[in-house]
Amino acid sequence: MKKLLILVFLTLPMIAFAQTKPYLSIADAERITAAAEAKAKAEGWNVVIAILDDGGHLISLKRMDGVQIGSIDVAQAKAKSAVYFKRSTKIFEDVMKGEGGSRIATLPNAVGVEGGLPIFKDGIIVGSIGISGVTSAQDGIIAEAGVKGY
Amino acid sequence: MKKLLILVFLTLPMIAFAQTKPYLSIADAERITAAAEAKAKAEGWNVVIAILDDGGHLISLKRMDGVQIGSIDVAQAKAKSAVYFKRSTKIFEDVMKGEGGSRIATLPNAVGVEGGLPIFKDGIIVGSIGISGVTSAQDGIIAEAGVKGY
Amino acid sequence: MKKLLILVFLTLPMIAFAQTKPYLSIADAERITAAAEAKAKAEGWNVVIAILDDGGHLISLKRMDGVQIGSIDVAQAKAKSAVYFKRSTKIFEDVMKGEGGSRIATLPNAVGVEGGLPIFKDGIIVGSIGISGVTSAQDGIIAEAGVKGY
Amino acid sequence: MKKLLILVFLTLPMIAFAQTKPYLSIADAERITAAAEAKAKAEGWNVVIAILDDGGHLISLKRMDGVQIGSIDVAQAKAKSAVYFKRSTKIFEDVMKGEGGSRIATLPNAVGVEGGLPIFKDGIIVGSIGISGVTSAQDGIIAEAGVKGY
């Protein structure tokens, strides 16, 4: 019996962890969105908040009142860049501000404006958040607040 | 009395001619979404719920867990068709089921599958709802439940 | 000790299975491709074989010699439709052959020609295969041979 | 002897001027891919390897496990730039790092990030390789290893 249990102990995790990956649920997305929105409201900023899954597909989007409509696509593009390249759009922004940085503009789906952050679980990418509506630095602050809410 | 009349004179035109149109707020969108989601959950259906403004731009989108990713674009396309043509996508579906109905497929932004409904206020279009995830008839039922929540 | 093991037994799977999903590795994709290619060669058919992940992104693509270049996009489009809608493109083909079937053409990313199949693991979608190069029925036969190789 | 010479005279031009061009077969593409992958594995780098024909169309694509999904489009874009302009994307990168280099971003299909190389046979372009997944310099090293495998 003891041996059997040990066998189960040794075998189960192997089966369980074999080739699976974590993912964001709609509940996760709403918690992240709420955290981002709380920060936005506290600062008096109105933004679009987009949450994508690990394939770059929308789980949720929320546009606060009065936000420019251009921000709907911008928020999604930032989030897409973040999950496609597993890095903050701020990193691309910094490269683009340097010498020859315009080359980033020739990479499909890369966005060089702060406000998009990848979301990881146990080191595995599960999705991203994209914010647009205020300045890019402010968008970035809200995105960070969102990720912290995960 | 004279003063009052002058006040009326100054105030009335502002009220009467003020060229405004009603619009959906994010609070409205969330109330509509909640009504649609309540119906979906009651039926055990998982769907994407998209709410657009009168310009056809996303106010909010919510994807319930487990919904096929194709429904993200489909829900938005249905909602876009509904607000672009001020009519239910069911109307286009019925035309497409008739003789020569494929001509509808040549109209930019027209979708011929039930699940997209325009949203009106006092006879003025303010936006639309698009649902995708179950059968088109079921999508239509959820869309109606959403509009009723407005 | 026994109690501890039982606790481990009860707890581990809960942790292990908590919000994770299976996925296709490149090794899986190559095994599926090899099975599809073996069938294609046995029949003397030349095709494009595309394998996508659960987000609709290419894991691998192989174009056999002499295949029309149009099939490169077609194979990917079929595979995309299969994973986006969690169903064979043959199902859309059958609907499109029926009355009013052209309405399917108004759904973003839907392809109504046989040759695209979703790939599931334990009931969860992990990706898809798309074949193009011969007749749609023959494309479908190769796609099935591929899925069986998974 | 005279007859033989006449025969040679008649035959040779046909062979010599027969209007053909060399092209990459799927066997070539797989050999190039294997060489690139061997280098990538030796370095512990995970990348996407795309091989295009002389028309800029995919012959094969392979995404190693764990590579960011953005690299799927980037690898193809680099390879497309390389075959469309018959030059390494490194050449465009160097121009883009110079004064006014952003003008390259206005050229359709030009990519200014290392990792795309044209493939020639007897001075004739037959296709290209595109690599994405690690740094652009590392992508370039893998691309070169691939071309050497041709």
Chain C: touching chains (3 or more CB pairs < 8 Å)? A, B, D
Per the CB < 8 A criterion, the answer to whether B105 and C105 are in contact is yes
SS3 D55: coil
Token pair belonging to B97: 């089921």
Q: Does the pLDDT at position B7 exceed 80?
A: no
- Class (C level, CATH) for D21-148: alpha beta
Q: How confident is the model at residue C15 (pLDDT cuts 50, 70, 90)?
A: very low
Nearest CA in chain B to C81: B70
In the predicted model, residues of chain D with pLDDT beneath 70 are 1-17
Instruction: Give the length of chain C.
Output: 150
SS3 A51: strand
Chain A positions touching D104 (Cβ under 8 A) are: 102-103, 106
**Distance between CA atoms of residues B72 and B66, nearest Å:** 12
Return the closest-CA partner of residue D71 out of D91, D49, D52.
D49
**Distance between CA atoms of residues D133 and B134, nearest Å:** 38
Give the rounded distance of the alpha carbon of C137 from its chain centre. 16
Chain D positions touching C69 (Cβ under 8 A) are: 53, 55, 57
Per the CB < 8 A criterion, the answer to whether B83 and B94 are in contact is no
Q: Is D86 left (phi over 0), alpha (psi -120 to 50) or beta?
A: left
Q: Does the pLDDT at position C98 exceed 90?
A: yes
Return the closest-CA partner of residue A85 out of D132, D113, D68.
D68
**C residues 66-95 closer than 8 Å to D (CB):** 69, 72
Select from B70, B74, B101 the Cβ nearest to the Cβ of C102.
Answer: B101
Q: Which residue has the tokens 């953005």?
A: D70
The angle subtended at Cα A88 by Cα A85 and Cα A90, nearest 5°, is 125
**Distance between CA atoms of residues D108 and A2, nearest Å:** 68
Between helix B70-84 and helix B89-97 the angle, nearest 10°, is 100
Chain A positions touching D96 (Cβ under 8 A) are: 100, 102-103, 106
Per DSSP bridges, beta strands A48-53 and A124-132 are: antiparallel
- Class (C level, CATH) for B22-148: alpha beta
C106–B98 CB contact, under 8 Å: no
Per the CB < 8 A criterion, the answer to whether B59 and B129 are in contact is no
* Number of Cβ within a 10 Å radius of residue D59: 26
Chain A positions touching C25 (Cβ under 8 A) are: 19
- Residue C109 DSSP label: T
Give every CB contact of residue D17 below 8 A, 6+ residues apart in sequence. none
Please list the alpha-helical segments (H only) found in chain C. Answer: 2-17, 26-43, 70-84, 89-97, 136-148
pLDDT in tens, A97-141: 999 999 999 999 999 999 999 999 999 999 999 999 999 999 999
pLDDT in tens, C105-140: 999 999 999 999 999 999 999 999 999 999 999 999
Q: Quote the pLDDT of residue D18.
A: 76
Per the CB < 8 A criterion, the answer to whether B104 and B93 are in contact is no
pLDDT in tens, A62-108: 999 999 999 999 999 999 999 999 999 999 999 999 999 999 999 99
Domain-wise residue ranges, chain C: 21-148
Q: CA-based diameter of chain D, in Å?
A: 68
Q: Quote the pLDDT of residue A136.
A: 98
Phi and psi for D35 in degrees, rounded to 5? -65, -40
